[in-house]
Structure 1
């Protein structure tokens, strides 16, 4: 199968270049462009292909008043512009994938191992977001830039990029609750302030139109994200692993990134606890935290584990490959949404886009 085979190639490439840091950085650019093309130029691939096609049709007749009043104005503005230029629907996938990968690249280049960081995103985040849930995929790209601003202690820019992300997918607004701890080192007083502001902030988000839509669709209904227990479960295990094994090591080796990572793992625990309330909301929130999870996994080789170093460094790759292999082979949902893989980089077929 193309997806599982590609994941194996990427992981083996990272393994083969384990001791060649310069080569890893060079191959990173080849891989990031390859994954962008793989994602952006897919044809009739992804669970939301037809859903976004219908949005594309709606955008043929929208005006600026509709865009301004919509919950995701940036996304609708992009669809409107694509229609105005008389471009075909799959161009929307190019636009959303570009936003996603630009954001991922900005965060990846800050990592000591950009290639390892990127390939760890492939099995879950890249397959599910820029290759299916493209609005949230674009929002995650912008949140990656916001995370970079958080690390640099630039709260105004952090808030700016979160707002831009919400213009693609309104769920990104939840990250505004981290604004009080984006101004400096993660401390207990700042965390207390963030928690205090989170109460009215969370109420505002939940009581607004978007919160009402999410509640009516996903809480107390039969709508479920059946893979959430595995995807969010891995996030929960990541948080547990961080607190039990590497928190102190991380503070010594990567003190600058400790704030965003520690806040991220708290979010992973919260996402896991949300599963009984709504697997869909838990899953949607969890996707935003996968870039932080990949940051943790990709930096494990740089931490001191002495005799167990190889085991700790290899374990994330094996875990993700195992889960991804089970998903691709056993999930009927995956078979329906992603197989066969088709690409239109050499030209669109002449038949209807949805047939």
Structure 2
């Protein structure tokens, strides 16, 4: 369990020494943080037999390795299956696929976090759940989330609707569920940019015909008709709902551009709606998967709390300590009472095998 706490420790130390930054439309170069992201990418990408779906992904890899390139593209999410196919042709193993997805995820997380007023606190808020639980448990979705985070950065900083849509479609090639974030994020822009409606509809139609048409029925049968449930879905939805409630309550006091505030408000309100949805839905898994793309609400809210409550330097530091304690508490609870902790502990890495 120690390696996981060391990763959280990196984020905490960075958070304690950073100063709030001025928002910029450019992606800043933060050398120390980039080094930390490289460590995290290796930590996540070269994991060995970690996560409840480890063997499921391994079977998937073996199945794809037996196909030609056309069969691989048609087998599932095209970008992810191509990574598996390429790895098998290069005579690598599942580590190559995991590392590639981890690099995509960490690059996206860096772009998103570095664009916030407190990049290190944003990173720290992502470690207990987004990095340790999601990135190390849901390989395809983590890569998709990384691409969505890049799209969100450009949408928020430059109002780059087209760029956001492009990265959302790229994310959908890793996991088709990524397209679900598009209407939620773009809803506040409908009245400001009327052309976003036909553009969004066009991208949605293209995504449907290229990525979803042949599998929509199967996904409905898997998640809805079969009443497929995910254990702990309510808790995971709640992890986003609490920060979402804070953001909604304090949205008028958040120091950010109006359009950005409206986008986060839309995502936060949808996050709150997930709570009754998970209680009433015949399939908690469907809600649980959608909730993964709303995790950025956690990051943006937690990273803003010290400045939101910081009327003075002392109160700002107190709020910062509270946020760090909250992150540590989430990680402690996950490893202490989590139903699937056994799949993460002890931690093994391919480097341990290669360096024997």
Q: Note whether the superposition's TM-score is higher than 0.5.
A: yes
CA distance in 2, matches of 1:54, 1:76: 12
CA contact (8 A) 1:150 1:260 kept: no
Q: C-alpha displacement at 1:18, in angstroms?
A: 5.0
Q: Deviations over 1:92-145 (max 9, x none)?
A: 111110111111111122112211111111100111222121001110011111
Q: C-alpha displacement at 1:309, in angstroms?
A: 4.5
1:132 match: secondary structure: coil
Out of 269, 274, 278, which is 1:275 matched to?
Answer: 278
2:350 match: secondary structure: coil
Tell me the equivalent position of 2:24.
Answer: none
Q: C-alpha displacement at 1:299, in angstroms?
A: 2.0
Tell me the equivalent position of 2:79.
Answer: 74
CA contact (8 A) 1:104 1:141 kept: yes
TM-score where L is the length of structure 2: 0.83
2:126 match: secondary structure: helix
1:249 aligned to 2:253? yes
Tell me the equivalent position of 2:13.
Answer: 13
CA contact (8 A) 1:268 1:289 kept: yes
CA contact (8 A) 2:64 2:75 kept: no
Out of 344, 348, 355, which is 1:342 matched to?
Answer: 348
Q: C-alpha displacement at 1:347, in angstroms?
A: 4.6
CA shift in 2, pair 1:212/1:105, >3 Å: same
CA contact (8 A) 2:78 2:174 kept: yes
1:46 match: secondary structure: coil
CA distance in 2, matches of 1:166, 1:20: 33
Tell me the equivalent position of 2:65.
Answer: 60
Q: C-alpha displacement at 1:56, in angstroms?
A: 0.9
CA shift in 2, pair 1:98/1:4, >3 Å: closer
CA distance in 2, matches of 1:236, 1:191: 28
CA shift in 2, pair 1:11/1:346, >3 Å: closer
Give the aligned CA root-mean-square deviation in angstroms.
3.6
CA contact (8 A) 2:147 2:171 kept: yes
CA distance in 1, matches of 2:190, 2:8: 38
Q: C-alpha displacement at 1:346, in angstroms?
A: 5.3
CA distance in 2, matches of 1:210, 1:66: 16
CA distance in 2, matches of 1:315, 1:166: 36
CA shift in 2, pair 1:180/1:298, >3 Å: closer
Tell me the equivalent position of 2:161.
Answer: 155
User: Comparing 26-35 with 341-350, which one deviates more in the overlay?
Assistant: 341-350
Out of 298, 319, 328, which is 1:293 matched to?
Answer: 298
Out of 315, 320, 328, which is 2:327 matched to?
Answer: 320
CA contact (8 A) 2:12 2:124 kept: no
CA distance in 2, matches of 1:195, 1:83: 36
5+ residue gaps, structure 2, are 22-28
Question: Aligned ranges for residues 161-176 of structure 1 at < 5 Å?
Answer: 161-176=167-182
CA shift in 2, pair 1:47/1:301, >3 Å: same
CA distance in 1, matches of 2:341, 2:73: 35
CA shift in 2, pair 1:25/1:157, >3 Å: closer
CA shift in 2, pair 1:28/1:200, >3 Å: closer
Tell me the equivalent position of 1:39.
Answer: 44
CA contact (8 A) 1:178 1:194 kept: no
CA distance in 1, matches of 2:181, 2:339: 33
Tell me the equivalent position of 1:115.
Answer: 120
1:265 aligned to 2:272? no
Equivalent residues, number: 343
Tell me the equivalent position of 1:353.
Answer: none
1:167 match: secondary structure: helix
Q: C-alpha displacement at 1:292, in angstroms?
A: 3.1
CA distance in 1, matches of 2:185, 2:256: 25
1:212 aligned to 2:217? yes
